[in-house]
Amino acid sequence: MKPIRQGDVILLPIQQIQGQILPHLILAEGEVTGHKHHITAGDAELYEKNGILYLRVISQTAFLTHDEHHEIAIPQGNWIVQIQREYSPEGWKYVAD
């Protein structure tokens, strides 16, 4: 499986899920607009351990949605959720969505 990107969120495939299950499917909330990256369809679970999020897509496909981006199909499997960073002369910073 290949990494999947939507705005500032990138999903990277992993072998195993860690952490405790969360009661929601919000992967990230926008710092600027207040919009959120969240799973809107399909069967999935979100886990957290030490501030790191992990997504398990149980159904064949789940859909990642954000108000300012196209909906993306996420295939079945285990994913680590990361916020992308960019480099500027001042140093590394997180990409704001």
User: What pLDDT is stored for residue 93 in this prediction?
Assistant: 44
Q: Which two tokens stand for residue 32?
A: 């600027």
User: What pLDDT is stored for residue 89 in this prediction?
Assistant: 58
Q: Which two tokens stand for residue 14?
A: 């992993």
Q: Which residue has the tokens 């789940």?
A: 62
User: What pLDDT is stored for residue 6 in this prediction?
Assistant: 85
Q: What's this model's pTM, rounded to 2 decimal places?
A: 0.82
Residue 92 has pLDDT above 80, yes or no: no
More confident residue, 86 or 16: 16
Instruction: Give pLDDT tens digits for 61-89.
Output: 999 998 777 899 999 999 999 986 555 55
Q: pLDDT grade, residue 16 (50/70/90)?
A: very high
Q: Which residues of 24-38 are buried (b: 16+ CB within 10 A; e: fewer)?
A: ebebbebeeeebbbb
Domains of the chain, by residue range, sit at: 4-94
